[in-house]
Structure 1
């Protein structure tokens, strides 16, 4: 018996049609390849060049700013009036601004204890500070842990409020806005905002509030911050969180 081949199985007419289709497809691809692929590659190269240029300009700008700051010595203490807060025998603690400390949270299992503990450890007259934990967590277990942590500090005499809401409109910014609607906030003079992974130094308020108290034209103080775990945080900052603002508003 003769061996079967593709030639004997596939009719010659079909084989010819397949060859014609392959040839036509090859011709069409050769015709559209250059006008289709080349512009896309050029566009991708142009976008990469533009992004590289933007990154270079940003680095150059920041370098110039840092150099000028170093050379001119434009420190806040020299530009604005700063004097330590002084006790008032007649007014007592009421001479100090009432400060609201806001901490927005969202499923912050790893850092909630550190941030709440740091906020509760701020040095300031105890009757002139309110810690407000704004918890938008969707994990019931984490919400319970955060609430228990707030209750633990409240049992130590810290004026701490645990606040939740039934939606996440505006995300953390929305939580901050919602927190400002509470009745006890109306009497506050200053608002300090820390993200959930911030750990302010105990003297943070003593160093920042005087800028606002002695300079009525100022509405916000943005402070310098540093990393507790620098090696990991540099990657984290670059990829996930480009900036974080810690501010006090008077």
Structure 2
């Protein structure tokens, strides 16, 4: 019913603008085959696309400014080597709860470290799937959108980059959008964002290595740095090391862990995140603890992508509440306590708590401070007291 209402609202809005002489159309597919990649491919097959040079993509919750195209298209019009202009994001509900503030910190760090830095050195960065303008000729040359994974945006960007096309990230153009407010929605989103890249890595690694007329440096960067380190190792290492191995060192003191893995690298990453979102500096401890909890879900998604298990192509639309939803208070769901339990988080929390208690009683370090805090974070998520609780 909700989807039908949204479709009708879009149709009425398009009809209003068409009555004023604007060339605008609304198209709806009969199925979800291929998910977003299938929808984009179907959209590009319409006859009116033949006369177009560029295509702009927005997810449903994105709200671009009226001058968005005036500020982005000139990059493409004046440089024939550019295939994509990617705009930044800003969030209409960043202050809604602690979970949305933490998401803002992580995304600001992503834009600053991966996309802004990549663009500044004319290097590769992934397309975010929205708030971007593509040159249609570059899109078609790369083979268009493919539904072999659930990250059609990253897939297209890698293929276009291998064909020699350049991307531009414009930091001073930001498009308003909404962060997922419930942990359930955020968890599904993070599954897609971790499972998809890992699965794409499995499918494209050899394709990248054997691609002709591509420098060895570019191949090494894509395979090792972009995919292997950032999309696979980071997730698995964060959870396995900080939530499994490090706690075990208090029980097995013969396991020696170098300080650079426990202090220097985490401190550097923490400082970079604080710089990216200075207004949320006071939440940096919560960010560390929550990111370690999410590393468990991201690790699971990464392994699903690599092993191609049953959930490898699971696509659940990220639930958003809407910036101006006057019925938000009525949407709050009062689940009974047992329905909110997440046993994986609770079990990891128990493991951390036991290790912390052992260190507190028998240990000679202060690692129990971290272990008690991290176990508390797992317990909070485990009993559902994180984000907004909304109906399915």
TM over 0.5: no
Structure 1-normalised TM-score? 0.40
Higher helix share: 2
- The structure having more radius of gyration, on CA atoms, is 1
